[in-house]
Structure 1
Amino acid sequence: MAKKLTATKANLMKVKDSLAFAEKGYGLLDKKRTVLIREMMSLNNRAAEIQKEIEGKFQKSYESLTMASVTMGWEAVVDISKSMPKEEEYIMGYRSVMGVEIPEVQYKHFNPKHSFSLYETTVAFDEAYLEMDQMRELIYELAEIETSLYRLAKEIKKSVKRANALEKIQIPKYEKAKKEIQNELEEKERDDFFRLKRMKGREENDGNA
């Protein structure tokens, strides 16, 4: 059980300062939580859009690749695919949202230059090639968003826990302590006032005797 503070003006000032600090902290946490939730909702909507785009491009690239294998022959498709340039490495960067590090995948955007002869391929093969590369960029973005959503959800949970501790425990505790000290100080002031009044009355009676 916490020790009750002595009713002094100094302790009253300390309690008031602690209460103001706790209320400010709660306000900042509430603002942080609101911003993070807004960011999370925005990313969640974008993730849903990307998933649909990926499904669409996967379907188109599969159909184009199937058509290419029919018109060119599967062996030719495999041989040409082996001559394609390797995927370039990406770099992980970060941006901060209310102190939360959000990942950003940095990579070179696709430059449609073929390492194979255009006479060796068909339109269907080229379409599959382009669709798959665009799908790669979407997968990067989706992975970026999913990691961001996980980190934001984790931070929101922590912020809610801290805000609840301030709102339900710390702030009421300081408000109670403040009220108790103020009541005791007011009572002391009334006692002192009546004591001084009685003393003054006695002095006046002694002077009249």
Structure 2
Amino acid sequence: MAVYKITPTKANLIKSKNSLKFAQKGYELLDKKRTVLIREMMALIDVASELQDRIDKTFAQAYEALKLANITMGSEYVEELAQSLAKERDYQVLFKSVMGVEVPRIRIEDVPFTTEYGFFRTNPAFDKAAIQFGEIRRLIYQLAEVENSVYKLAMEIKKTQKRANALDKIQIPRYQSTIKYIDEVLQEKEREDFFRLKRVKGKTKPKKKV
């Protein structure tokens, strides 16, 4: 049996009803937030899957081109030329808010592919491998951005779900039970007051003279 630590008064009844409305509104907002976050996360998961497929295919093509370059040019010469390729470019990590969740956005300077070697020193297989490995690096940046965003959204969904469950399973039922308890006590008190007043009126009513 529930034990209530609240005085059953009309003021507390109004207060409990207002708290119930506030909790129900909070649950609705959390439920909407959770829905938006899940939709956003699922869309990013699809993007991550597509990026991973592109990385796998590009890797396969790049390694085939590199293998052909090693065969036609010699692995030592290929390694020497590889040292002259452009190094890692600087990047910026910016943030975008999704329902209050800060997800990363990686910004890389978009510059055309250039080399420090003359094309007459290479063959098409080496050039293809160099271009494709550069593309892989760009795709990996994008995948890291998306996967980090998915992780952050998943953590926020878990937190939102926990708060929504606390309202739905604990707070809202508690307020509903409290309102029912106060309402029943007040109704019982009104009935008792009504019957008490009726008895008082019966006693004070003058008797008819015979």
Fold similarity call, TM over 0.5: yes
1:37-76 correspondence to structure 2 within 5 Å: 37-76=38-77
Provide the C-alpha distance between the structure 1 equivalents of 2:49 and 2:3, rounded to a whole number of angstroms: 51
Per-residue displacement from partner, 1:33-76 (whole Å, max 9, x unpaired)?
11111111111111111111111000000111111222222222
Segments of structure 1 that go 5 or more residues without pairing to the other structure are none
The code of the aligned residue for 1:121 comes to T
Provide the C-alpha distance between the structure 2 equivalents of 1:53 and 1:85, rounded to a whole number of angstroms: 22
Distance 1:2 1:194, change over 3 A: closer
2:113 maps to 112
1:80 maps to 81
- Single out whichever of 86-95 and 69-78 deviates more from structure 2: 69-78
Say whether 1:32 aligns with 2:33: yes
> Matched residue of 1:36: which SS?
helix
2:95 maps to 94
Cα RMSD for the two superposed structures: 1.8
Provide the C-alpha distance between the structure 1 equivalents of 2:202 and 2:28, rounded to a whole number of angstroms: 53
Per-residue displacement from partner, 1:101-134 (whole Å, max 9, x unpaired)?
1111111124122222121121111111111111
Number of aligned residues:
208
- Single out whichever of 185-194 and 141-150 deviates more from structure 2: 185-194
> Matched residue of 2:127: which SS?
helix
- Single out whichever of 173-182 and 118-127 deviates more from structure 2: 118-127
1:1-209 correspondence to structure 2 within 5 Å: 3-205=4-206
Segments of structure 2 that go 5 or more residues without pairing to the other structure are none
Percent identical: 50
> Matched residue of 2:103: which SS?
strand
Distance 1:100 1:164, change over 3 A: same
TM-score, normalised relative to structure 2? 0.91
The code of the aligned residue for 1:130 comes to I
**CA shift for structure 1 position 3:** 4.6
Provide the C-alpha distance between the structure 2 equivalents of 1:155 and 1:80, rounded to a whole number of angstroms: 47
- Counterpart contact for 1:110–1:133, Cα < 8 Å: no
Provide the C-alpha distance between the structure 2 equivalents of 1:159 and 1:172, rounded to a whole number of angstroms: 19
Provide the C-alpha distance between the structure 2 equivalents of 1:109 and 1:76, rounded to a whole number of angstroms: 29
Per-residue displacement from partner, 1:149-208 (whole Å, max 9, x unpaired)?
2222222111111111111111101000001111111222222233333333433326x5
- Single out whichever of 80-89 and 195-204 deviates more from structure 2: 195-204
Provide the C-alpha distance between the structure 1 equivalents of 2:163 and 2:3, rounded to a whole number of angstroms: 20
TM-score, normalised relative to structure 1? 0.91
Provide the C-alpha distance between the structure 2 equivalents of 1:33 and 1:119, rounded to a whole number of angstroms: 58
Provide the C-alpha distance between the structure 1 equivalents of 2:113 and 2:62, rounded to a whole number of angstroms: 16
- Counterpart contact for 2:48–2:146, Cα < 8 Å: yes
- Counterpart contact for 2:4–2:178, Cα < 8 Å: no
Provide the C-alpha distance between the structure 2 equivalents of 1:187 and 1:80, rounded to a whole number of angstroms: 93
Provide the C-alpha distance between the structure 2 equivalents of 1:163 and 1:127, rounded to a whole number of angstroms: 53
> Matched residue of 1:15: which SS?
helix
- Counterpart contact for 1:65–1:128, Cα < 8 Å: yes
- Counterpart contact for 1:40–1:152, Cα < 8 Å: yes
